[in-house]
Amino acid sequence: MKILVAVKRVVDYAVKVRVKPDRTAVDTASAKMSMNPFCEIAVEEALRLREAGAAAEVVAATVGPAASADTLRTALAMGADRAVHVLHDPDPARPLLPLAVAKILRALAIQENPGLFILGKQAIDDDCNQTGQMLAGLLNWPQGTFASKVIVDKEKQTATVEREVDGGIETICLDLPAVITTDLRLNQPRYATLPNIMKAKSKVIKKVTPAELNVDIRSDMEVVQVDEPPKRKAGVILSSVDELLDKLKNEARVL
């Protein structure tokens, strides 16, 4: 079985982003970029499934500008076998939407014929939490979203997925092929070692365009403006619990 993993290049999770003065977008020009943390977890899970004998090959894919190749190299250095880069230069006013990404990934799934497609549950830049579900819908495959545990049964061609839901942990069973999206507690992604980073340089990254995949990138969303969130007024440091209780009762009136 082959596993396809989708990864996204985003502003590093530790960077506090600023809105551009013209309010058209978030300023990402000089920000440090990294692989989306949920995508790292997706790569790690695919590698673990391969190491456990449940999969033979792990293919990483991304949709993005030329610079996104770095993210694919990271996935290859972690241990992915090869990669596919769907080149797309985004327009800030008409961002690439999850539906378009899902259609591109569907085209890749049809080409590659994987038994499992693993994605992160959301990208930490657009915070959409949509692509995996849309991909599953387009392919008419079952979906296991927000996964905190995945067990693949090769014989039965099923995956048992524990999901993080509002009320606790839900377990579902999916027929393969399926789409799984990762939650934070699925695993602890490995670091790429220097030898593996060197080895990754000789692994293949295939480049394609959405047009070659016959995917029409349509955007039905227009960014009107981007604003800073309202600032909270400065707080005060209190010296005692009594003072706190007094403030909560008489000033904030929340007790």
φ/ψ (deg, to 5) at 92: -60, -30
Q: Which of residues 42-101 bind other proteins (CB under 8 A)?
A: 97-99
CB 27 within 8 A of CB 19: yes
Told to check if 33 binds other proteins by CB under 8 A, we report no
The residue (of 40 and 183) whose beta carbon lies closer to other proteins is 183
Q: How many Cβ atoms from other residues are within 10 Å of residue 188's Cβ?
A: 9
Q: How many residues bind other proteins (CB under 8 A)?
A: 83
The nearest distance, CB 248 to other proteins, in angstroms, is: 7
Question: Which of residues 1, 69, 173, 197 is near other proteins by CB under 8 A?
Answer: 173
Among 111, 113, 171, 209, binds other proteins (CB under 8 A): 171
Exactly one of 5, 150, 174, 217 binds other proteins (CB under 8 A); that residue is 174
Q: How many other CB atoms sit within 10 Å of the CB of residue 27? A: 14
> 122-161: which residues touch other proteins (CB under 8 A)?
122, 124-138, 140-146, 148, 160
Pairing mode, strands 57-64 and 2-6? parallel
Question: Residues 6 or more apart from 166 whose CB is under 8 A from it?
Answer: none
Closest CB to other proteins among 76 and 119?
A: 119
Neighbour tally for 202: CB within 10 Å: 7
CB-based contacts of 172, cutoff 8 Å, min separation 6: 144, 160, 161, 163
CA 217-87-227 angle, 5° bins? 65
Closest to other proteins by CB, 31 or 69: 31
- CB 58 within 8 Å of CB 3: yes
Q: Could you give the CA distance from residue 125 to residue 132 in angstroms, rounded to a whole number?
A: 16
Query: Minimal distance in Å, beta carbon 51 to other proteins?
Result: 23
| 189 close to 75: Cβ distance less than 8 angstroms | no
Question: Which residues between 186 and 215 bind other proteins (CB under 8 A)?
Answer: none
Least Å from the CB of residue 90 to other proteins:
14
Nearer of residues 17 and 56 to other proteins, judged by Cβ: 17
Please, which residue, 203 or 247, has the CB nearer to other proteins? 247
Of 183, 208, 213, 215, which one interacts with other proteins (CB under 8 A)? 183
Q: Under the criterion CB under 8 A, does residue 242 sit at the interface with other proteins? A: yes
Kindly state whether residue 238 participates in binding other proteins, applying the rule CB under 8 A: yes
Only one residue has tokens 């403006």, namely 225
Query: Which secondary structure element, helix H or strand E, spans residue 47, and what is its range?
Result: helix 37-51
Least distance in angstroms from the C-beta of 81 to other proteins: 27
